[in-house]
C-alpha cells in the first residue's frame, strides 16, 4: 500500500499539508469541499503543488508532521525543488532567522483531515465541541467501512487524535487478516500512534471508536494514559467503558479516562446490526 504527503496551495495563498492513502481521491474531495470542517473549504480553488510517496503510513505521518511545522519560505523551497535553499533554511542561515514553526502561516491551519486546532494566536478556531466529536466519529466510520469492504472483518474503526487535533493512528479490526486476537481497531490505532510518537504513552490523546471498547482495549487505553475515549455504539455484552465493566474509570487504577459515549450512536449501532444481518441474509434496518 502506498501513502502520500501532499501540499495544496489555496486561493488565499496559504498552504495546506496533508497525508492520504489515495492522493487522487483526496484531492477530488478537497476540490469538492467534501473534507468535513477542513481548513481548505473556504479557500478554494486549490492547486496540488507538491506530493511525495511513502511505503508506510508511519513514514507519511512523520513527514507530514515535520512539514506542517516548517516556515512558508521552506515550504516554497520544497515546492520549487530548490534543495540548496532548503538546506540553508533548515540550518537557519537565511535572514538571521531560525525556520520556526509556521511563522508566516495563517493562524487557522488545521490537522491532516481537517480537524480544528488552536491557532498561532491561541484562538480556538473549532466549531462546537459536538461538531468536532461527530467529525472524528465519521472518520472512524470510514475506517470501519474499510474493514468490512476490503477485508470482510467486523466493521469497527478507531482513530487516535493528539491534543492538537492531529491524527496519530488509525485502525480497524484485523483479527482475521492478521491471525491476531488482539488486533482490535483500538489496539491497531494505538500501535501506530506509539510508533509515530516513539512513545508508548499517548498522553492527552483522544481515541474515537465506533463501538464501546472491550476489556482488553480499555486496559490498553489505561496503560497508554489516553485522556479521553469517545465511542459510538454501546456494547451491552462486553463493553468495558461503563456498559458491563467500567475499567477506564475504576479508582483503583492510577489513571482514569474521560468517557463520552453515544456519539452518532444510532448510526454506529445500525451499521453493526446491518453487517450481522447481511451475514445472515436478513433484511437491513
Ligand atoms: Zn477491543
The predicted structure's pLDDT at residue 81: 85
Q: What is the rounded distance in angstroms from the CA atom of residue 2 to the CA atom of residue 129?
A: 33
Q: CA 10, 16, 17: angle at the middle one, nearest 5?
A: 150
CA of 214 to the centre of ligand 1 (A): 4
Q: What is the pLDDT of residue 89?
A: 81
pLDDT value of residue 36: 55
Report every protein residue that has its C-beta within 5 angstroms of ion ligand 1. Answer: 184, 214, 217
- Residues annotated within a binding site for Zn(2+): 184, 214, 217
C-alpha 150 – ligand 1 centre gap (Å): 20
What 3-state DSSP class applies to 6?
strand
186 catalytic residue (yes or no)? yes
| Residues 159/153, Cβ–Cβ less than 8 Å | no
CA of 211 to the centre of ligand 1 (A): 9
Q: Are 64 and 21 in contact (CB under 8 A)?
A: no
**pLDDT of res. 99:** 34
**pLDDT tens, position by position, for the chain (285 residues)?**
788 899 999 988 888 888 888 898 889 888 888 775 567 877 888 999 999 888 877 778 778 877 877 888 889 989 988 887 887 787 665 443 333 333 333 323 333 333 332 223 322 333 455 678 999 999 999 999 999 988 899 999 999 999 989 999 999 999 999 999 999 999 999 999 999 999 999 999 999 999 999 999 999 999 999 999 999 999 999 999 999 999 998 889 999 999 999 999 999 999 999 999 998 988 888
200 Cα–ligand 1 center, Å: 18
- Among residues 9, 148, 153, 186, the one annotated as catalytic is 186
Question: CB–CB of 260/206 below 8 Å?
Answer: no
pLDDT for the residue numbered 97:
38
Please state, in angstroms and rounded to a whole number, the distance separating the CA atoms of residues 44 and 153: 37
User: What value, to the nearest 5°, has the Cα angle with vertex 71 and ends 160 and 110?
Assistant: 30
Nearest to 8 by CA among 66, 37, 44, 47: 47
Q: What is the pLDDT of residue 128?
A: 53
Centre of ligand 1 to C-alpha 209, Å, is 10
At residue 259, the pLDDT reads: 94
Amino acid at each position: 500500500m502506498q501513502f502520500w504527503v501532499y501540499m495544496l496551495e489555496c486561493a488565499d495563498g496559504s498552504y495546506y499539508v496533508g497525508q492520504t492513502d489515495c492522493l487522487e481521491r483526496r484531492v477530488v474531495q478537497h476540490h469538492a469541499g467534501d473534507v468535513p470542517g477542513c481548513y481548505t473549504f473556504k479557500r478554494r480553488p486549490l492547486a496540488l503543488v507538491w506530493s511525495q510517496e511513502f511505503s508506510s503510513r508511519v513514514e507519511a505521518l512523520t513527514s507530514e508532521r515535520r512539514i506542517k511545522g516548517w516556515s512558508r519560505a521552506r515550504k516554497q523551497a520544497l515546492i520549487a525543488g530548490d534543495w540548496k535553499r532548503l538546506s540553508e533554511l533548515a540550518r537557519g542561515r537565511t535572514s538571521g532567522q531560525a525556520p520556526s514553526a509556521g511563522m508566516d502561516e495563517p493562524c487557522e491551519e488545521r490537522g491532516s483531515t481537517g480537524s480544528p486546532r488552536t491557532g498561532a494566536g491561541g484562538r480556538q478556531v473549532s466549531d462546537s465541541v459536538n461538531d468536532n466529536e461527530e467529525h472524528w466519529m465519521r472518520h472512524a466510520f470510514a475506517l470501519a467501512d474499510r474493514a468490512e469492504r476490503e477485508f470482510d472483518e467486523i466493521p469497527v474503526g478507531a482513530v487516535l487524535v493528539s491534543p492538537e487535533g492531529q491524527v496519530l493512528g488509525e485502525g480497524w479490526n484485523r483479527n482475521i487478516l492478521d491471525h491476531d486476537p488482539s488486533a482490535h481497531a483500538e489496539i491497531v490505532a494505538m500501535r501506530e500512534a506509539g510508533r509515530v510518537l516513539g512513545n508508548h504513552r499517548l498522553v492527552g490523546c483522544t481515541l474515537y471508536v465506533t463501538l464501546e471498547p472491550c476489556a482488553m482495549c480499555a486496559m490498553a487505553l489505561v496503560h497508554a494514559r489516553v485522556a479521553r475515549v469517545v465511542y459510538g455504539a454501546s456494547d451491552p455484552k462486553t463493553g468495558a467503558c461503563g456498559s458491563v465493566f467500567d475499567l477506564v474509570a475504576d479508582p483503583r487504577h492510577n489513571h482514569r479516562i474521560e468517557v463520552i459515549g453515544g456519539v452518532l450512536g444510532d448510526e454506529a449501532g445500525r451499521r453493526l446490526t446491518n453487517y450481522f444481518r447481511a451475514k445472515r441474509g436478513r433484511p437491513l434496518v
